[in-house]
Amino acid sequence: MIRKLLAVAVFLLPSVAFGQTEPLVLELTGGAAAGKSYSLSMQILILMTLLTVLPAVLLSTSAFVRIIIVLSILRQALGTAQTPPNQVLLGVALLLTFFVMAPVIGEIRTTAIEPYAAGELTMEQALNVGIEPLKAFMINQIRESDFNLFVDISRRTDITSIDDAPMAIIIPSFIVSELKTAFQIGFLVFIPFLVIDLVVSSVLMSMGMMMLSPMLISLPFKIMLFVLVDGWALIIGTLAGSFFV
């Protein structure tokens, strides 16, 4: 096994070590950089750099932001500390995000990825076509006030409608709108549990049990209420449905 690994490592060593130039595997053929080539090591460096930023960009342009914030507020309202744990919340948020984004992902695959794989589109054309479904999804969730805010900040006078806006304005407008919507939903989720805390606290004070933590007594009641109303199905269904309104 070790011999096989050593053989693979020697095979993958840059050919510069043997007095040859490193193979060029990417060459730009259009634009100002036409004719410029990138070596394999440079491609790997660019790819690793993009991989560190790409997850944050994808999560910020999808349904993940709203979902994870509402689930975090729900856990805080229940007062269950680290239950469900962060890994469970992230798993639920990611799966629900894939469910919500499935139509967008399918459209991107049909209009951009498959034609590019078949050689019908160049990479630049595939990117331009593939970004349109994602842009349409974000536009449907953006509030007009948030969009106007970033248009005013950018001091762009050539933007007549949100459909003509570049992604540099669409993305921050979408994130701010999602944060606002998530906190509005979280406020409505928090109210019933807050009422239970207030009732329990009032009862304990009227009984002279001021040294007993109201959170300790109200926790079973909040869990019971959440289970009786089928809270998980209600929250997840409401979150998923909020993107299709």
At 96-153, the pLDDT tens digits run 988 988 888 888 888 888 887 887 878 778 888 888 888 888 888 888 888 888 888 8
At 167-219, the pLDDT tens digits run 888 888 999 999 999 999 989 988 888 888 888 888 777 777 767 677 777 78
Question: Does a cis peptide bond (omega within 30 degrees of 0) precede residue 220?
Answer: no
Q: pTM (2 decimals)? A: 0.73
Give the pLDDT score at 118. Answer: 81
- Structure token digits, residue 237: 């269904």
The answer to whether residues 183 and 71 touch, using CB atoms and an 8 Å cutoff, is no
Give the pLDDT score at 159. Answer: 80
At 66-100, the pLDDT tens digits run 999 999 888 888 888 777 888 888 888 989 988 98
- Structure token digits, residue 217: 């007594």
Segment 28-37 shows an average pLDDT of 46
Environment class of 6 (CB within 10 Å of its CB; exposed 0-12, middle 13-18, buried 19+): exposed
Between residues 93 and 44, the one the model is more confident about: 93
Segment 24-36 shows an average pLDDT of 45
Give the pLDDT score at 39. Answer: 60
User: Measuring CA to CA, how many Å separate 245 from each of 10, 132, 141, 238, 239?
Assistant: 57, 20, 9, 11, 11
SS3 116: helix
Give the pLDDT score at 19. Answer: 41
Average pLDDT of every residue of the chain = 77
- Structure token digits, residue 226: 């959440």
